[in-house]
Amino acid sequence: MNGRIMIVEDERIVALDLRQTLESFGHEVVMVASSGERAVAEGPVLKPDLVLMDIHLDGPMDGTQAASILQQHNIPVLFLTAFAGQSMLDQAELSSPYGYLVKPVETRALQATVRMALARRRAEREIEKGEERLRLAMDVAGLGVWEWDAAAASFVGEGQFESIIGHTPTSLDNADSGFLSRIDPAYRPAIADALTRGEAVRTTVKLQTLPDSGRNGWVDFHARAFARPNGDLDRAIGVIRDVTAQREQEEHLRQAAVVFTSTGEGMAILDTQWRIISVNPAFVTLTGFGEQEVLGRTPDELLYARRHDDNLIAKLGQSGGDYWSGEVACICKDGSMLATWQHLCVVRDTQGQIGNYVLAISDTGALRRAEAQINHLAFHDTLTGLGNRNMLEDTIEKEIERADQNGSRVAVLFIDLDGFKLINDTMGHATGDQLLSMVAQRISRVLRRTDTAIRLGGDEFLVVVPEVTRFEDCASLAEKLLCEIRAAVELDHERFSVSASIGIAVYPDNAGDFSSLIQAADSAMYGAKERGRNRFAFYSSDMAERALERLHIEQGLLRAIANDQLMLQYQPVVRLDDGQLIGFEALIRWDEPTHGRIGPDRFIPVAEECGLIDYIGSWVLHTACTQAQAWIHQGFVDLRLAVNVSARQMNAGDFDVTVSDALALTGFPAAQLELEITESTLQAVDHSRQLLGRLKALGVRISIDDFGTGFSSLSRLKHLPIDRIKIDRSFVQDLPGDGNDAAITEAIIAMAGSLGLGLIAEGVETPAQQQFLLARGCTEAQGFLFSRPLDVADVDALIVSTARGRLS
Ligand SMILES: Nc1nc2c(ncn2[C@@H]2O[C@@H]3COP(=O)(O)O[C@H]4[C@@H](O)[C@H](n5cnc6c(=O)[nH]c(N)nc65)O[C@@H]4COP(=O)(O)O[C@H]3[C@H]2O)c(=O)[nH]1
């Protein structure tokens, strides 16, 4: 076989001769180079099959050096030399030459040697090509090949080995740089055992995470170890392939499979013809269809109410994409309806062709029910189940609209329970709630289907009555409601009777819109309360005026405080038998610049409602104590001072602190201060017993004002630290003529005696009243008979003139 040959020879004659000889053998001489430098420059470009290289060349690079470089390019070299010593031979050997010819070369020897060299070159080429094929195949397959030579203690990794493992190990073992150390410890023993036994290993292993790069992953691991005859390990060889991506995909598939089987959402996988090819257990549970019953059928045939717009294909088509979701009513196997939310999506293959459809169905029945419940809660009162404020507005707006259209009327009945707070405070909130529920039931019992009952909050209820034609109908409904509510009820083993006050307002007669209609009914309800409770009242314009007046008073009170318009009068308290002055009751007044003097009955309830009473109450205490202390200094040493206290003041929590501050700041003796607390206050204040205890601890006295008008039980009074009771003016005023009042007054006096309480009568206007009380054992009184409430200057004069003498 002929070859392409390069000649490297610095003697031109020899080079020419060689060329001619080689060409005569049919070889192609691709180049004649006269120096080593030229040879190494052109050799890699021309890629000759063989280089005939003279060892002794002109120039810095001799033939052995040039041969070493050419060898790195896989270009075989045949040395030609006239003479070479041992050291030159040693040097020449390093470049693994194909042969060595001594000049002058004999033609036949040259031909034979060149032929042999070319044959060897061809054989080597085949091997190189094979190796390259293998390398390419390994690259394509992502394989890494490794070999451990035990005798040479060398580890070789080829192909993708290093990129898979991250480095090339120096040994096979578990040592830090050993190959097995890169494998997760859980997998190592099995591999080591199999290799030791000489068995083939075919497994997938997890790699250890590399600390510096964080690289880990999974590899297919195929290997086998070979032993020497004496049983020692000779070498091990193996192949690895990175399967991390497949492994992760498998992991995802496994997870997806778990989701598919365990999710509460029903799922069906459909083929391109929309036929079901697989369903999950939730699908079976939700629809009642078994898997075998549904396979091969379409969801449209099975599940839907066969309405055109339930058709899945149509829905997906309308979505204009690969995804649709929406609400669909399904029919289960047993014929029951199932409210569902469905997701339908297209699964495409890598070419973008539709492979499957996935249909996911979730039961929205619970959601629907929750939604209905939320709606119910939004429009209903949770305690009573009646409508709430939202429903009120909604209903009235609708009814007003209807009334406008057909010229009818809408009535609103505003119901407020009388004395509910008292029951709530004394019996506890749970009992109060029970009472409210019961009242709600009773209200509902009386109403027509078209009426609406609302609880506004607290003890306030409202009834909306549409299509009212006669006012009398509203009156009789109110009467029925009053009667129904008033019926005795047993709660916590006690019988109660709670009355109500009802205000009635009518659209469009009394108001032109929703809020003024409610306001009008509210004012009417106040009117009913003012007239003595347990009754109803129609709205009238003077009620609105009174409501307006309340508002004016509230605003005016703020000014009164700022401009010092509040002042105190003092009504003398006397001994009944001889008219001896004992002390005074402080009574507040408001000197309003334009309307004149305003009495406490008009503004104290407003001050209580709007919270100003706390400020006003403590102002009264300070002012009265300061004034009374001045009278003590004037000589009225044992004067008694009575100050009124309202329920709200006592509810503030730190009322005893307010009192002790007033005493400390004014120096007024605690034992001479008497706090007048009304009977109903005592019952409305949650912690009255503890508070009274703390007040008593300060040394002050407590008297019960308006006694006989409230609901006090004697046993309760007995356990409270009370010093005195005050017979209410309403019992005194008709004495001695009214037998009833006389009996009550006698009973109160007897009771005070038996409980060891002090006693005082108020509102004594006539000597007959004085005599009656005196005869029954009441020793103290106040009233116009002795003196009206006086200004400070008048009291000053009185103290001087009477020198603590008689007033009557
Ligand atoms: N017809 C008649 N009336 C008599 C007679 N003697 C006294 N009065 C009036 O009866 C009321 C007695 O006070 P009250 O029962 O504590 O009733 C008081 C008290 O509950 C409350 N009040 C007065 N001052 C204060 C105060 O500083 N704080 C608080 N919280 N309430 C006060 O206002 C209520 C009304 O006070 P006033 O209008 O001053 O009315 C006073 C007094 O002027 C009489 O012989 N005949």
Task: Read off the CATH number of the domain in which 662 is found.
Answer: 3.20.20.450
Please state whether the predicted TM-score (pTM) of the whole model is above 0.90: no
Residue 807 inside a domain? The answer is: no
Q: Give the neighbor-by-neighbor strand order of the sheet with 201-207.
A: 154-159, 143-149, 233-242, 217-227, 201-207
The minimum-distance atom of ligand 1 relative to the CA of 646 is 30
CA of 733 to the centre of ligand 1 (A): 14
- Residue ranges of the chain with per-residue pLDDT less than 70: 1, 84, 210-215, 305-310, 541-548, 683-687, 708-716, 803-808
601 pocket-lining for ligand 1 (C-beta < 6 Å): yes
User: For residues 257 and 407, what is the distance between their CA atoms, to the nearest angstrom?
Assistant: 67
CA of 534 to the centre of ligand 1 (A): 26
CA of 587 to the centre of ligand 1 (A): 6
> What is the structure's pLDDT at 805?
46
Domain containing residue 195: CATH number: 3.30.450.20
Residue 547 inside a domain? The answer is: no
CA of 717 to the centre of ligand 1 (A): 23
Residue 549 inside a domain? The answer is: no
783 pocket-lining for ligand 1 (C-beta < 6 Å): yes
604 pocket-lining for ligand 1 (C-beta < 6 Å): yes
What's 74's DSSP letter? T
CA separation, residue 10 to residues 7, 63, 113, 661 (Å): 10, 10, 21, 128
Residue 418 inside a domain? The answer is: yes
> What is the structure's pLDDT at 660?
94
Residue 37 inside a domain? The answer is: yes
User: For residues 63 and 80, what is the distance between their CA atoms, to the nearest angstrom?
Assistant: 9
Q: Whose CA is nearest to atom 3 of ligand 1?
A: 763
Residue 127 inside a domain? The answer is: yes
What is the value of ipTM here, to two decimals?
0.96
Clarify whether residues 268 and 239 are in a common domain.
no
Contact 454, 394 (CB under 8 A): no
Residue 777 inside a domain? The answer is: yes
User: For residues 729 and 140, what is the distance between their CA atoms, to the nearest angstrom?
Assistant: 113
CA of 337 to the centre of ligand 1 (A): 72
Clarify whether residues 403 and 439 are in a common domain.
yes
Looking at 314, 335, 368, the residue that finishes a domain is: 368
> What is the structure's pLDDT at 803?
61
Among 762, 770, 784, which is best to mutate for testing ligand 1, by the most ligand atoms less than 8 A from CB? 762
CA of 763 to the centre of ligand 1 (A): 9
Task: Please enumerate in sequence order all residues whose Cβ is within 8 A of that of 151, keeping only pairs 6 or more positions apart, or say none.
Answer: 234, 235
Looking at 348, 368, 388, the residue that finishes a domain is: 368
User: For residues 705 and 689, what is the distance between their CA atoms, to the nearest angstrom?
Assistant: 17
Clarify whether residues 208 and 123 are in a common domain.
no
User: For residues 791 and 569, what is the distance between their CA atoms, to the nearest angstrom?
Assistant: 5
User: For residues 38 and 554, what is the distance between their CA atoms, to the nearest angstrom?
Assistant: 117
Looking at 334, 368, 402, the residue that finishes a domain is: 368
Among 561, 616, 644, 773, which is best to mutate for testing ligand 1, by the most ligand atoms less than 8 A from CB? 644
> What is the structure's pLDDT at 305?
61
466 pocket-lining for ligand 1 (C-beta < 6 Å): no
Clarify whether residues 70 and 151 are in a common domain.
no
User: For residues 203 and 258, what is the distance between their CA atoms, to the nearest angstrom?
Assistant: 25
588 pocket-lining for ligand 1 (C-beta < 6 Å): yes
Residue 736: asked if its preceding bond is cis (omega within 30°), the reply is yes
> In terms of residue numbers, what domain contains 390?
380-539
Among 561, 571, 587, 676, which is best to mutate for testing ligand 1, by the most ligand atoms less than 8 A from CB? 587
Clarify whether residues 604 and 744 are in a common domain.
yes
Clarify whether residues 364 and 398 are in a common domain.
no
- Strands 217-227, 233-242: pairing is antiparallel
Give the phi and the psi of residue 426 in degrees, each rounded to 5.
-85, -35
The minimum-distance atom of ligand 1 relative to the CA of 620 is 27
> Closest by alpha carbon to 287, among 327, 325, 329, 330?
330
Q: Whose CA is nearest to atom 46 of ligand 1?
A: 763
CA of 382 to the centre of ligand 1 (A): 43
- Strands 581-592, 536-538: pairing is unpaired
CA of 600 to the centre of ligand 1 (A): 7
Clarify whether residues 612 and 751 are in a common domain.
yes
